[in-house]
A and B are shown apart, each in its own frame.
Chain A
């Protein structure tokens, strides 16, 4: 087994702290971190990937639904070991019960697989390791290391309880929604309250739900978000909710809304909980700038998440891949300055920014609509002849019949 080899070095003139040297240190072994580590290592860079948890991909903080099309774009081959279910389509429902069923032929870009994240994340970490990255578990970043000139030269960390330093030419912050590394580095990752959705999810059994359709419920059942039911087979599903805190009734939290939804739906009459998890998503169109001298932020840490769906896995994989490729290029010139890292910024913006911005506007609008209007919209959409259903085409149909709903961002549709 190859291991990262520590060096003992004098620190503060007194203590002798274990120090690791590498080209790139990646903080966080989620999809974004593993992709970044893989592409750094493939580019010939000595890469260390650290993960604070004892297991990659667990505990779960995700609804596990992903589309299919982007996988080939980032070089991931679908593998039955981490695909729990292949969805036939999606059901979009209003709080009042009006439903619209989408088949895969029409909704291919938005629906696809339900994953086993604990296996998916490990598969990506394995790819990173195969490319040569070293993985350190139970290792959490505790701060940024700066050189005498103030330049970022790595991270401070705690590894299996021991204080260590990991010195690197550049840091990739892939530490998810918590995103402390970016903030320690001085990047403003603060979110406005309306750009945060609090989520809670139950893994439930004994359910009477469609086994191969992902279901989304919008409206007052989930203020500023939605309820999801993503089937995992054999009457088991991830049943969760995301809500915008500022739109919740006083004293009501995400759990209140999810419990209420479950209590009122007869399909859950015999349902029992196997697992409970919380999590947050940002619903803004990404950071103003996700790079600085010697640091790149990827995935959730860069706030690159679809503001409508809260989906972040494909964005994390794309940004991780871009980060790895750009860092490998930068290494050729030995320049990891902000200017040198800007191609990363351009790559993710060119690929995703318009869509993120449009969906952010749509999210803001959707949050203001009454259940009656949402009902009308779903009826209208189910009658409209939409060849391929994705957020863009849905908005286009809405624009024709209900122009007031897309007021302010009609130019993006």
Chain B
């Protein structure tokens, strides 16, 4: 998954919406771990279109 760091507002919405609990917001850095199944839910929900499939 690709994070556009210039757009991300660090709101954590994708973290709580991830069905696999695979996204972590560490301070101001969004990280995906290996549990990510690329379902695209976070891409769909991001309020500022900061996420995309790599």
Partner-B contacts on A (CB < 8 A):
61, 140, 176-180, 183-184, 189-191, 193, 196, 198-200, 245-246, 253-255, 276-280
Residue contact A277 to B41, C-beta cutoff 8 Å:
no
Residue contact A253 to B49, C-beta cutoff 8 Å:
yes
What residues of chain A lie closer than 8 Å to B16, measured between beta carbons? 176-180, 189, 280
Q: At the interface, yes or no: B9 with Cβ under 8 Å from chain A?
A: yes
Residue contact A200 to B48, C-beta cutoff 8 Å:
yes
Residue contact B21 to A278, C-beta cutoff 8 Å:
no
Residue contact A190 to B13, C-beta cutoff 8 Å:
no
Partner-A contacts on B (CB < 8 A):
9-13, 15-17, 19, 21, 24-26, 41, 44-49
- Per DSSP, are chain A's interface residues mostly helix, strand or loop, or mixed? mixed
What residues of chain B lie closer than 8 Å to A254, measured between beta carbons? 47-48
What residues of chain A lie closer than 8 Å to B46, measured between beta carbons? 198, 253
Residue contact A178 to B15, C-beta cutoff 8 Å:
yes
Question: What's the Cα separation between A255 and B13 when bound, in Å?
Answer: 14
Which of A61, A140, A254, A278 is packed against the most chain B CB atoms within 10 Å?
Answer: A278
Residue contact B25 to A200, C-beta cutoff 8 Å:
no
Residue contact B44 to A245, C-beta cutoff 8 Å:
yes
Residue contact B48 to A279, C-beta cutoff 8 Å:
no
Question: What's the Cα separation between A184 and B24 when bound, in Å?
Answer: 13
What residues of chain B lie closer than 8 Å to A255, measured between beta carbons? 47-49
In the assembled complex, the CB of A177 is this many whole angstroms from the nearest CB of chain B, namely 4
Q: Nearest 8 A-B pairs (CB), nearest first? A: A278-B11, A280-B13, A254-B47, A278-B9, A177-B16, A200-B47, A198-B47, A178-B16
Residue contact B45 to A196, C-beta cutoff 8 Å:
yes
Residue contact A278 to B13, C-beta cutoff 8 Å:
yes
What residues of chain A lie closer than 8 Å to B9, measured between beta carbons? 200, 276-278
Q: Which residue of A lies closest to B21 (CB)?
A: A183
Residue contact B15 to A196, C-beta cutoff 8 Å:
no
Question: What's the Cα separation between A37 and B49 when bound, in Å?
Answer: 36
Question: What's the Cα separation between A196 and B9 when bound, in Å?
Answer: 18
What residues of chain A lie closer than 8 Å to B21, measured between beta carbons? 180, 183-184
In the assembled complex, the CB of A374 is this many whole angstroms from the nearest CB of chain B, namely 23
Beyond A61-B11, A277-B9, whether A191 also contacts B17 by CB under 8 A is yes
Residue contact B49 to A277, C-beta cutoff 8 Å:
no
Question: What's the Cα separation between A198 and B51 when bound, in Å?
Answer: 14
Interface pairs (17), CB distance under 8 Å: A177-B13, A178-B12, A180-B15, A184-B21, A189-B16, A191-B17, A193-B41, A198-B45, A200-B9, A200-B48, A253-B46, A253-B49, A277-B9, A278-B47, A279-B13, A280-B12, A280-B17
Q: Which residue of B lies closest to A258 (CB)?
A: B47
What residues of chain B lie closer than 8 Å to A280, measured between beta carbons? 11-13, 16-17, 45
In the assembled complex, the CB of B4 is this many whole angstroms from the nearest CB of chain A, namely 12
What residues of chain B lie closer than 8 Å to A191, measured between beta carbons? 17
Beyond A178-B25, A277-B11, A280-B11, whether A196 also contacts B48 by CB under 8 A is no
In the assembled complex, the CB of A378 is this many whole angstroms from the nearest CB of chain B, namely 27
What residues of chain B lie closer than 8 Å to A180, measured between beta carbons? 15-16, 21, 24
Given contacts A200-B48, A280-B12, 6 further A-B contacts (CB under 8 A): A61-B11, A199-B13, A199-B47, A276-B9, A277-B11, A278-B9
Residue contact A253 to B48, C-beta cutoff 8 Å:
yes
Question: What's the Cα separation between A373 and B51 when bound, in Å?
Answer: 35
Question: What's the Cα separation between A276 and B11 when bound, in Å?
Answer: 10
Question: What's the Cα separation between A196 and B48 when bound, in Å?
Answer: 15
